[in-house]
Structure 1
Amino acid sequence: MKKVTLIMALLIVATGLAEAQNLPAKKEVMDKMVITNAYFMNKWPDTGKTIITNKERQSNIWTRAVYYEGLMALYSVNPDKAYYDYAMSWGEAHKWGLNGGVKTRNADNHCCGQTYLDLYENEKKPEMIKDLKESIDAMIASDKIDDWTWIDALQMAMPVYAKLGVITGDKKYSERMYQMYMDSKVRQGFYNSADGLWWRDKDFRPPYKEPNGEDCYWSRGNGWVVAALVRVMEIAPKDPHYKEYKKTYLAMMKALLPIQRADGFWNASLHDPTNFDGKETSGSGLFVYGMAWGVNHGLLSAKKYMPAIVKGWNAMASEAVHADGFLGFVQGTGKQPSDGQPVTYDSKPDFEDYGLGCFLLAGSEVWKMAK
């Protein structure tokens, strides 16, 4: 009798483990994206309304631009006209302009261009990318290539260069993108090939250490690089520097796999789980996005990476999404693990938009692999 009971107990445990490794159905994945996005759209019906936190900002800044990246990803798998119109309204509200104007060299200010370009491909209205192209062309006309002094910049700007190159057929965009990327990676030295991860900026390179003596690899910062590489490879698979992007992407995926938390999230500090440890959605969302995209495009082994994807998505979907669609466990803006703390289920980050963008990017790829 005891033997039978033991066998039954083992079967229950095994069944539970198996179920934990299954993705939910497509509808369930979509439902999570729809409810979180609806929460945001209902809260921000006026797409041109300024954002007020510690000060007032125009709503075409990078935080909102990342949300629209996620919205366009959602639209690609759920072509609801309301999503498209919401994105169009945002561009029109800002007259397709950039925060900082056409003379800006700041990657954060170029991030809105990713959605402008996506919409331009459908609308073919020159005014939609006029200011963006003028700004990028001015950067290319100069010899300066060291503007990306923090790794977040790669995600904010690289996809803009990649898509401009595809739309215009002009190689100058992909070449300058590569030069600036390599300046950040090699000359400024933000990438540590030994660990397959990136220091956020010069302030975090050695001798800077985390409390446990490890290097400081910030979760969301590395997530931005993952997103940059994924989006560039998807936009421009024929880019002559594709092999470099792919090599670095694969190294990062390999480095991120074993440091996923048991609960499916990643810590804010990737190599120091004791430094502001806990669940965090934005970095985790970007990593799930990168891994799911890699499996969907045949760059990663499904057998090896699906458990991490499933565990990561299920954790976010079940533990971070509130009943009303609010997204919890999102770290506020900053540059290191200590910023925006404490990060909890109920805590509201200073900006509610970019975390949702990361979640929608992940969901759009997970949806493609769900049954």
Structure 2
Amino acid sequence: MRIEASILIVCLLLLSAGLQAQKLPSKEEVLEKMELTNEYLMKKWPDPGVNVITNRERPSNLWTRAVYYEGLMALYGIKPEPEYKQYAIEWGESHDWGLRNGYKTRHADNHCAGQTYLDLYKMDPQSERMKDIKASIDLMMKTDKIDDWDWIDALQMAMPIFAKLAVITEDDEYSERMYEMYRNTKITQGLYNKKDGLWWRDADFLPPYKEPNGEDCYWSRGNGWVVAALVRVMDILPEDDPHQKEYLKTYKEMMKAILPLQREDGFWNVSLHDPNHFGGKETTGTALFVYGMAWGVNNGILKEKKYMPAIVKGWNAMAEQAVHENGFLGYVQGTGKEPKDGQPVTYTSKPDFEDYGLGCFLLVGSEVYKLK
């Protein structure tokens, strides 16, 4: 009887621990993690305009830093600290509100900074804040070329800009061109596999390319970028936009596909269909997936009962296992395009750029914070 009672007690303790692990943290706890990680970067880069040096020197309006500012603006949205806004303004001013490689660029990575420029323009409509990004997109729209986005990361980097311009200027030609380019990436270039509800990163990974286990290569962060693109665009455009239904349909297909691929520890692997190909915890893809799920629950699109456990498990995994005491973010895969890039990915490994991982983390934190 004593043995049976002991077993029962152990089982109850394990069950209690499991239930505790699934608890959604308080808003204060979520915000605390966001502030801690953000403070780490702001202290490391007190001058937001200084060039970024890794394997070579780059201006700080490159895409990695632009993604960070997407996250910072999301943090500002839930806690409007003046220093956050000022840090973003100083970044824009340091580049004269310009784009990497000039306004004649067509490259989505170079456009990404425009997302924050346009956010700041909406707060204070000074013409210089949107002049270059609008001029760049306007030049693209004067041509018939719509196949620029030949890698799926580009959707997150550029689609929200077209959507923001459509709303700011009240000109749906921007959102229509965005849709044409999106459809070209999805259908003409064939990077979306409707059967699996996931995207190949670019043409290099289309069949017959296979992972070591014989499955298609679906890169975690790449699919995360698409999730973010769809969420941000649907959030920006009015509900009566003629293409909202298609964006929503693809988003739901992706959420359905991604949900069962979550690891037991709450993270997702870098290779979604081959967990043994550089398998392990990875923060950026995880953050973007949880961001998409939390946004869906917050907007009444995804069923809370079905997706909340994954959201809670994913956020807790990042907050408890990836965030260091000083705010450094672990398990961030470095830049690249596939599972083998930026390896090894560990708790203490430093990616080549530390900024975009934080941007992803702040985006997901902003949606988890809004959960009831």
- C-alpha distance in 2 between matches for 1:57 and 1:33: 26
Q: What displacement does 1:4 show? A: 2.8
Query: What are the within-5 Å matches in structure 2 for residues 163-312 of structure 1?
Result: 163-238=164-239, 239-312=241-314
- Give the Å deviation of 1:166: 0.5
Q: Give the superposition deviation at 1:210.
A: 0.2
Q: Could you list the per-position Cα deviations for residues 137-173 of structure 1 after superposition, in whole angstroms to 9, with x for gaps in the alignment? A: 1111100000001000000000000010011110100
Among 322, 325, 337, the residue aligned to 1:323: 325
Could you tell me how far apart the structure 1 residues matched to 2:180 and 2:26 are?
Answer: 42
**What do the CA deviations read for 1:184-227 (whole angstroms, capped 9, x no partner)?**
00000000000000000000000000000000000000000000
Are 1:154 and 2:152 counterparts? no
2:347 maps to 345
- Name stretches of at least 5 consecutive residues in structure 1 with no aligned partner: none
Residue range with higher mean Cα deviation, 189-198 or 3-12? 3-12
Indicate the SS of the match to 1:333. Answer: coil
CA displacement, residues 239-298 of structure 1 (integer Å, 9 cap, x when unaligned): 210001000000000000000011000000000011001111011100010000000001
Aligned residue type for 2:230? L
Per the alignment, in what secondary structure is the counterpart of residue 346 of structure 2? coil
What is the Cα deviation at residue 237 of structure 1?
3.4
Q: Structure 2 matches for 1:41-80, cutoff 5 A?
A: 41-80=42-81
Q: Which amino acid is 1:216 matched to?
A: C
Distance 1:271 1:69 in 2: 29
The match for 1:127 is 128
Structure 1 residue matching 2:100: 3-state secondary structure: coil
Q: Secondary structure at the match of 1:46?
A: coil
Q: Distance in 2 between matches of 1:190 and 1:356?
A: 27
Task: Report the Cα distance in structure 2 between the residues aligned to 1:185 and 1:143, rounded to whole angstroms.
Answer: 18
Cα shift readout 1:109-130 (whole Å, capped 9, x = no counterpart): 1100100011100111111000
Q: 1:368: Cα distance to partner?
A: 1.0
Give the partner amino acid of 1:59: S
Q: Which residue in the other structure is 2:142 paired with?
A: 141
Q: RMSD in angstroms over aligned alpha carbons?
A: 0.8
Residue segments in structure 2 that go unaligned for 5+ positions in a row:
none
Cα deviations by residue, 1:98-118 (Å, 9 ceiling, x for unpaired) = 011111000001100100011
Matches within 5 A, 1:15-34: 15-34=16-35
TM-score calculated relative to the size of structure 2: 0.98
Structure 2 SS opposite 1:129: helix
**Counterpart-to-counterpart distance in 2, 1:140 and 1:265:** 40
Identity of aligned residues (%): 68
Report the CA distance between 1:2 and its aligned residue.
3.2
Secondary structure of the 1:146 match is coil
The residue number in structure 2 matching 1:101 is 102
- Per the TM alignment, residue 3 of structure 1 is displaced from its structure 2 partner at its CA by 3.4
Identify which range, 13-22 or 241-250, moves more after superposition.
Answer: 13-22
2:369 matched to which residue of 1?
Answer: 367
Using the TM superposition, give the Cα deviation of residue 18 of structure 1 relative to its aligned residue in structure 2, in angstroms. 1.0
